[in-house]
Chains A and B, each alone.
Chain A
Amino acid sequence: MGVKAKLYPKEAARLLREKPGVREAVTGATLHFEQGRKKAYGEIDAEAWRERAKRVKDHLLSHLDHYLELAEKRLREKGVQVHWAEGPEEAHRILREVVARHGVKRAVKAKSMLTEELGVNPLLESLGVEVYETDLGEYLIQLLGEPPSHIVGPAIHLALSEIQRLFHGRFGTPLDASPEALAAVARKVLREAFLTAELGISGANFLVAETGTLALMENEGNIRLSTSLPRVHVAFVGIEKLLPRLADLALFLPLTARAATGQRLSTYVSLIQGPSREEEEGPKEVHVVLVDHGRTTLLHDPEAWEVLRCLRCGACLNACPVYRQTGGHPYGYVYSGPIGAVLDPGLLGLEDTYPLPYASTLCGACYEACPVKIPIPKLLLTWRNRAVERGLAPTWEKGAIKAFSQVMQSPSLYRLFSKALRGLPLPQDLLPLLKAWTEGRGPLKPSPKPFHELWQELEE
């Protein structure tokens, strides 16, 4: 996927101006998820669960080489073909071979953010393969030609009326068709695709190293169909998605479900143990592609690696009041919201993602929600500091902060500033800031006298 993160401030403003419906839809959906999460966390000792999950992930990440080797070994023992992909190019090569060897004409896909990262759909299309996203939300945005707006709910930015219009144009359903009727139409199309596709593509929520088990969570049943009906299954797995032991699933499956949607467990959990045997149904060939795409570099970054604990549950997006105003599109990359703001700079470099770490008020709601306790506010601050040190901050900001700190360093300048606020002209560097402030909030109204003058009166 292309990276448009640099446009975040403009795109966020434009979206708020031009598509107010998005704000309404996203706010409604995320508040709903957020309430669900709070309730689901309330039923358990969330603090203890989060701490345990964090420890397991930290252990895994600090022994990642070991667990990757173990996972590869176990997968091969089960007859899975294991591949390593440093980035999109290698992933594409692997996929191209599979397509050529099996004469793939049609592929069904289970929702996966990593395949968005790798640009799997455009590749397949360029090979003449028909691709069907089979998650309902993902299917909708595929029809619209849009990227996902949310990690878990890719289409949460759409209002029902938009979906009705879309289906009316495509399938001739009435403009007031009920959600059930629309889902039935999609189901019919997708069922046909499931039955005829030669290739199923998925990501993975977890890959258990001890047993070589792929774990996939979902609510619609489409992942199970995508990974069991076609003859060939290819799973793309980020190297950070491993878990050491099968027993860890007992913590991570319910914790992820609680964090993501407020469920105790997702409706379906698929545990995949390699290709089917002679007498069984299911894919005859299973490939696991272990993808790096910037993760190793991040792992060795002592101030930013914690982001690799991420389970992609989306809880931080749901909790984030900044994300809620616009949804994910203005962030300009696969990962949006708080996690995007600290992951994207790590994966893509700060130069291409500069505004993202600033897309937060540091309110801390994301940290409170995160099931693996990723200190997102701290990471945001780290990336901001790096941005400043690399000279990426805009000139006006540098000027303003410099002027500000000079004033604050010197009591006499501060007294002058205090007078200026109450009538004298202010330093030029601060003026653009003032304008940005007053446009939406009216003129600044300082107290008639600052406290430091009143203090003298209090003392007398």
Chain B
Amino acid sequence: MRVALFITCLADQFYAEAGVATVRLLRALGVEVDFPKGQTCCGQPAFNAGHWNEARSLAQRTIRILEDAEYVVLPSGSCASMVRNHYPELLPGDGEALRLSEKTYELSQFLVRVLGVTELGKGLEGKKIAYHHGCHALRELGVKEEPLLLLKNGGAEILPWEAAEECCGFGGLFSVKLPEVSLAMADRKLSTLPQADALTSTDAGCLLHLSGRMGKRGENMRVVPLATLLWEAYGG
């Protein structure tokens, strides 16, 4: 099986480790991994802000780059949802958009639903993890149990967190268009965060926002992409 990675801009720039972990993990599971050249951003920031012309050309670009792939895997729930749910809306009647949408998966979703892997290893034994459900992974992609299952089976304890399914306030451009509201939302998440060994999520944007805010509040916790923890679970 061959998988094309779509790392997308935020993870590429800010959580390169998530990309590395994804490659290592997929290879360890016997999957061949490609990283199609020239890829950048899925277009979501422009799309969500209403700039559909710009989003459309970025979508078309991405479709061209990924069209030959057997599967496309992203270590990001919201970019995966952009490709899966919004490309076909943005490009109605475009067969390639539909085909790409059908073969695109967020990493944990791919592991569980396509590969049927629910246990990677016990590398997270004794670790207490707080899992933030990124909204697009949770409500648009329907990815909820997969990350939890993989973490738990990796030996981690998922700590109960009252606000685990609440939006962290990132929201792409929202975070800079309405910074005060965005930060108030992050504060609500963080003020209910249990004392964990690590805070994780599928989304680079959420993590960037939450870890930045944590720093500003003078708090300290390991904030790490899901892919990295899954690789640790494998024993990497």
- Please list the residues of chain A having a beta carbon within 8 angstroms of any beta carbon in chain B: 9, 12-13, 16-17, 23, 27, 321-322, 324-326, 357-365, 367-368, 381, 383-388, 393, 397-398, 401-402, 404-405, 407-409, 411, 414, 418, 421, 433, 436-437, 439-442, 444-452, 454-455, 458
Contacts and interface: CB of A to CB of B under 8 A. Distances in A.
Interface string B43-59: 10111111110110110
B7 interface: yes
Interface in B141-155: none
A402 to B, nearest CB: 7
Interface of B: 7, 9, 11-20, 23-24, 35, 37-38, 40-41, 43, 45-52, 54-55, 57-58, 61, 135-136, 138-140, 166-167, 169-186, 188, 208-209, 212-213, 215-216
Contacts, number: 189
Contact of B58 (A360, A386, A408, A458): A408
Contact of A363 (B15, B47, B139, B183): B139
Given A321-B166, A358-B173, A401-B49, 14 more contacts: A321-B185, A358-B178, A361-B169, A361-B182, A365-B167, A383-B50, A397-B173, A404-B45, A421-B13, A437-B175, A441-B215, A447-B15, A452-B35, A458-B23
A9 B182 CA distance: 11
Contacts of B46: 401, 404-405
A312 B18 CA distance: 43
Nearest to A398: B51
B69 to A, nearest CB: 15
B17 A447 contact: yes
Given A397-B49, A401-B54, A364 B139 contact: yes
A436 to B, nearest CB: 4
B115 to A, nearest CB: 20
B145 to A, nearest CB: 17
Contact of A441 (B14, B35, B50, B216): B216
User: Which of B138, B166, B171, B181: most chain A CB closer than 10 A?
Assistant: B181
Given A381-B48, A441-B216, A409 B13 contact: no
A23 B57 CA distance: 40
A384 B181 contact: no
A451 B52 CA distance: 27
Contacts of B136: 362, 364
A401 B48 CA distance: 11
A318 to B, nearest CB: 12
